[in-house]
Amino acid sequence: MNLLDLDYEVPLDKDLNQFGIGVIGAGFIIRDCHLVAYQQAGFRVLGIASRNPQRAAEVALLRGIPHVYQHFREMLENPEIQILDIGVPPQHQPAIIREIVQHAKHVRGILAQKPLAMSYAEAKEIVDLCESAGITLAVNQNMRHDHSVRGCRDLLQRGLLGEPVLGTIDMRAIPHWMPWSQDLHSLSTFVMSIHHLDCFRYWFGDPQRVMASTRPDPRTKFPHTDGINLYILEFANGSRASSWDDVWTGPVREGSQGDIGIHWRVEGTAGLARGTIGWPSYPAATPSTLDFTTRERGDYWFQPRWKQAWFPDAFRGTMGELLMAVKHQTQPPISGRDNLRTIALVEAIFTAAKEHRVVDL
């Protein structure tokens, strides 16, 4: 196989528009990421509902959605809608999924936002409910479908990097905290670091133990404990992973020059991969990058490039994996059951930082 022939985008069947999709939520992530990617992929969105019906109507007009529901319960009465895409704050998501399970027996699949819930116990309850109802549950861990992240996974799977030794992510970027995040018991860990923790699981599997340190972000004025997160993951094979999730990045919004970006690096016994994540420059659609070298061709840095960007193109992959799983009656890689391990890891990091101790998983 050509070393540049990377599996950076999930292959999808051409007939996935057989499934009608209903969308719950009309915020930025739905309007500018989910629906843009679905339109490009040819997925069939039949309706939208939001707690703000006027906003739902605006998004429907913008994205060509034929029906606006005043409440998501009305959407559940449409038997053509077999797939539900949920884009609401995490503290409200479990209650919506419980209603779907109870009242919509025709629903075959749910794409939930991450975090699935704000605790492992509640997330497990939701996973068990969906399994008992025969509903395929997927969780929108979309960083797995960033093209550089998926490309690195392919390098690892093909053995081109050898045995992993060290993986790192260095995030220096300023998130836009939504108003609903003020009500959560965790800020950066459950909302931002969950991306990187799931990415490490995607690359390396489940760690044995973690250690972490956190402090508040000086820019974020509402009360919170976990702003800037630093953590280390230890794996059974001896490899390590670490991330610096810096949501401050210096006083760039307060008058200084900025140095914003996300860089990652994976070192193995047979090769090295490094990359950037294009998200901090959003709304500019900036593709992520991947460079790698291997002992097999030690004289060369391979630099595959693509035109797609994490936002919005990765969302083709998350919904696509769910639709493929429903069609073929399998479980998607981002299944709710798999995501319980990500939630457990997020909880472990939060606990390690809060209690200043090593936490075993």
The DSSP line for 297-336 is: GTT--B----S--HHHHHHHHHHHHHHHHHHHT---TTBH
Residue 67, beta-bridge partner list: 47
Contact 201, 342 (CB under 8 A): yes
Distance from C-alpha of 83 to C-alpha of 110, rounded to nearest angstrom: 6
Return the biggest CA–CA distance within the chain.
61
pLDDT 10s digit of each residue in the chain, 361 long?
Answer: 576 789 999 999 999 999 999 999 999 999 999 999 999 999 999 999 999 999 999 999 999 999 999 999 999 999 999 999 999 999 999 999 999 999 999 999 999 999 999 999 999 999 999 999 999 999 999 999 999 999 999 999 999 999 999 999 999 999 999 999 999 999 999 999 999 999 999 999 999 999 999 999 999 999 999 999 999 999 999 999 999 999 999 999 999 999 999 999 999 999 999 999 999 999 889 999 999 999 988 889 999 999 999 999 999 999 999 999 999 999 999 999 999 999 999 999 999 999 999 999 9
Q: Write out the residue limits of the CATH 3.30.360.10 domain(s) in the chain.
A: 146-310+342-360
Provide the pLDDT for residue 1: 54
- Specify the length of the chain in residues: 361
Provide the pLDDT for residue 193: 98
CATH architecture for the domain at 16-142+316-334: 3-Layer(aba) Sandwich (3.40)
Q: CATH class for domain 146-310+342-360?
A: alpha beta
Q: Write out the residue limits of the CATH 3.40.50.720 domain(s) in the chain.
A: 16-142+316-334
Q: Enter the pTM of the model.
A: 0.97
Provide the pLDDT for residue 297: 82
Show Cβ contacts of residue 280 under 8 Å, excluding neighbours closer than 6 positions: 173, 174, 260, 261, 262
Provide the pLDDT for residue 221: 94
